[in-house]
Structure 1
Amino acid sequence: MNTEHIAKYYTSIPGLADRFNRTAGQWGFQAASLEEYEAWKTSTRARLGELIGMTRMDMCDLRPELLESVQQENYRREKWLIQVEPDVWMPFYLLMPDGLQPGEKRPCMIAAHGHGTGGKLSPAGRTDIPALREPIAGAHLDYGVSFVQRGYIVLCPDARGFGERRESSGQGDEESVFLGSTCNQLNMMAISLGLSLTGMWTWDLTRLLDYIGTRQEIAQERIGCCGLSGGGLQTLWLAALDERVSCAVVSGYFYGYKDALLNLYNCSCNYVPRLWEAVDMGDIAALIAPRALLIETGDQDPLNGERGVDNVREQVEITAGAYRLTGAEDRFAHHIFAGGHVWNGGQTYKFVDRWLNE
């Protein structure tokens, strides 16, 4: 053997877990009245916007550009490009259902992608690309297509670090990098500038909402957002910080930070300096009340952490408190299904139809 066996390791994670127990959740939801809730919501949104770096982002003209248009069965898939910060560009697919009448306005869904999806390609159902067929089929990743086929106008954007927005450390056409991301490179650089990848993703989606506001075909009061995994992260933060989102579906991304992101290491895009001192996921979701929110959980999803669904239910109960306080219990649902880290959709389309399309 060319190395020396180490019989005992002196690790630091237990000490960080102890620090978590002593310091976490200082801005958590604890309101006992509507007045307290509104005050907490206002102050917490401002604090979180500062924490993730939203307040440091630079506004610019969108300069939308149509790059291509392809007719699909029952809808048209357009590829667009908008400027989200000066010389920072976001490509996205716009899925437009057939049969839209002059002057008609349709509800809209933003379909945010997660990891291992090729970015916007999976929600947009690009099974014509061989590398995507198995991921799309295995985890039901083409939820953007499911919504457009139900008559919604759908936008499927590339998040920073994915698809056409991969940085130098992950560019290329090999399948492993094509499906991968450059989250680590981006978040390391962002943190050093007082930003975060979470904040940049959220900012970009607020700019997509700005673009949606220019589309006459979209009913501006009926805008939703959905996503699996990293798409759930994007959906959670966008809906929490921007009230233009009327309905949110968070799939495979709702659990307590300690179990799921401290004891169980995940992608660097999940980590924001000092976030855990401030809030947990249930507190972030509490900012969405009284707007419609569905959380979807696989009972065998390994990302729930070692305590499984119990770790999820604790956070759901925090959020449920905000919905009870605002008298909007019927607008909040938690669907637990038998399965792993996949988009299930068992209650999703009925739920979204109720709050966006009826």
Structure 2
Amino acid sequence: MYYTTLETYKKKYQNRSLTHAYSAKTKGEHEAWKKSLRDRLREITGMNKCVYCEPDAQYLRTDRVNDLIAEYWVIKTEPEIEMPFYLLRPDQQKPDFEKKKHPILIVPHGHGGGKESTIQSQTAFIRDALEDGFLVVCPDERGSGDRREFPEQGDEPEKIRMNSHRELLQVCIGFGQSVIGMAVWDLMRLADYLLALSESNGFLACAGMSGGGQQTVWFSAMDDRVKAAITSGYFYGFKESLIELPQNCACNFIPHMFETADMGELGALIAPRPFFVESGEKDGLNGKSGLNNVITQLDVTRKAYHIFNENAYPIHSIHSGGHQWVGTGMRTFLIKAMEKERANIISI
């Protein structure tokens, strides 16, 4: 016989009243809600406790990963916090390469591995982006890749695939912070640096799988500089995918989040920018109701897009597999998003 507690929290969540449930009917109401929710998320994630500093970017070396040339850089995101990232450039042998301005694509990694695993698992997508002229950037999230803490450090394959998010959360929560809050802060500081590069044309997109999808959703929800967002394997209702599956990575958990908003609200913060969601029919992380746990949250997100008459978004691409990146339609999505942004600039 076991006397457990988690069942109580499932009921508590079912009967909750979200402080920032989406209910806007006009653009003005949407903007007021957006500001209020972002302010609350900065508070509960601890983003407002992060400390700004100049990036002090340093190039360290060039590696070859899956036959792609990747420059290894490190920047500061807080005075004593450094973030390594790979920078991959389009074909520098093309005519007038140095004279061209390039869009930027940040590709955060998933829960297992770091920036190398991103290149290895999403090689085709990255090759396409490079062919389309993107500067592609693959950073290490805090606690992953070259930012692992003891005892996950080491070159053994099993350790390389691990992260230190549990250890980070157990410490930072006592200071009112969270892993995803720090991750979003780091991506914002990375964006500061990248958008200031002389070769940047100002268009910034973000795309990720699983934990990379999580970073993409949160980063795009909190920063309007992200002009197009792609998440794969990470968009679903919190109850079935986090409360009923509490063994998921510690980076998912934030004080007061379950009282504040659900995934649909995070998606609504991205509106009206182009947003692409990829789901697998057999992805166990969707929860017990499967795709229905995704669709009900997308229905919330669509309400925000309808307000802006952006009824083509979010795009929902469903494949027959499990928790995996397939990528169908993503290249076309990014190209159309760039064309849309270009048209918006011209019309201003």
TM class by smaller structure: over 0.9
Q: Distance in 1 between matches of 2:107 and 2:166?
A: 23
CA contact (8 A) 2:276 2:315 kept: yes
Q: Distance in 2 between matches of 1:166 and 1:177?
A: 9
Q: Distance in 2 between matches of 1:72 and 1:188?
A: 33
Q: Distance in 2 between matches of 1:200 and 1:268?
A: 13
CA contact (8 A) 1:123 1:143 kept: no
Unaligned runs of 5+ in 2: 341-348
Q: Deviations over 1:182-225 (max 9, x none)?
A: 110011111111000010000000011011122111111x1100
* Aligned ranges 1:199-210 → 2 under 5 Å: 199-210=181-192
Residues 141 and 21 of structure 1: CA distance in aligned 2, closer, same or farther (over 3 Å): farther
User: 1:69: how far off?
Assistant: 2.5
Matched, 1:168 2:170: no
Q: Among all aligned residue pairs of Structure 1 and Structure 2, give the percentage whose two residues are the same amino acid.
A: 39
2:106 to 107, 110, 116: 110
1:260 to 241, 260, 276: 241
CA contact (8 A) 1:75 1:96 kept: no
* Aligned ranges 1:122-141 → 2 under 5 Å: 122-125=117-120, 136=121, 140=122
Tell me the secondary structure at the aligned position of residue 311 of structure 1: helix
Q: Distance in 2 between matches of 1:258 and 1:53?
A: 22
Q: Distance in 2 between matches of 1:316 and 1:258?
A: 15
Give the partner amino acid of 2:220: A
1:147 to 129, 140, 150: 129
Q: Distance in 1 between matches of 2:124 and 2:208?
A: 10
Q: Distance in 2 between matches of 1:253 and 1:218?
A: 28
2:76 to 80, 83, 89: 83
Q: 1:339 matched to which residue of 2?
A: 321
User: 1:146: how far off?
Assistant: 3.9
Q: 2:255 matched to which residue of 1?
A: 273
Q: Deviations over 1:292-349 (max 9, x none)?
A: 1001100100000011000100000000110011111224211111111011101111
CA contact (8 A) 2:52 2:77 kept: yes
Residues 73 and 160 of structure 1: CA distance in aligned 2, closer, same or farther (over 3 Å): closer
- What is the number of equivalent residue pairs in this alignment? 336
1:23 to 16, 34, 38: 16
Residues 236 and 141 of structure 1: CA distance in aligned 2, closer, same or farther (over 3 Å): farther
Tell me the secondary structure at the aligned position of residue 39 of structure 1: helix
Give the partner amino acid of 1:114: G
Q: Distance in 1 between matches of 2:17 and 2:168?
A: 26
CA contact (8 A) 1:122 1:141 kept: no
Q: Distance in 2 between matches of 1:295 and 1:336?
A: 8
CA RMSD of aligned residues (A): 1.7
CA contact (8 A) 1:93 1:155 kept: yes
2:200 to 200, 218, 221: 218
User: 1:229: how far off?
Assistant: 0.5
CA contact (8 A) 2:108 2:212 kept: yes
CA contact (8 A) 2:286 2:294 kept: yes
User: 1:141: how far off?
Assistant: 6.5
* Aligned ranges 1:1-358 → 2 under 5 Å: 8-70=1-63, 76-98=69-91, 99=94, 101-116=97-112, 118-125=113-120, 136=121, 140=122, 143-220=125-202, 222-265=203-246, 266-356=248-338
Tell me the secondary structure at the aligned position of residue 118 of structure 2: coil
Give the partner amino acid of 1:329: N
User: 1:102: how far off?
Assistant: 2.8
Q: Distance in 1 between matches of 2:152 and 2:306?
A: 45
Tell me the secondary structure at the aligned position of residue 78 of structure 1: strand
User: 1:178: how far off?
Assistant: 1.0
User: 1:242: how far off?
Assistant: 0.5
Unaligned runs of 5+ in 1: 1-7, 126-135
Q: Distance in 1 between matches of 2:145 and 2:47?
A: 23
Residues 262 and 314 of structure 1: CA distance in aligned 2, closer, same or farther (over 3 Å): same
Give the partner amino acid of 1:169: P
Q: Distance in 1 between matches of 2:168 and 2:68?
A: 34
Tell me the secondary structure at the aligned position of residue 334 of structure 2: helix
User: 1:173: how far off?
Assistant: 1.4
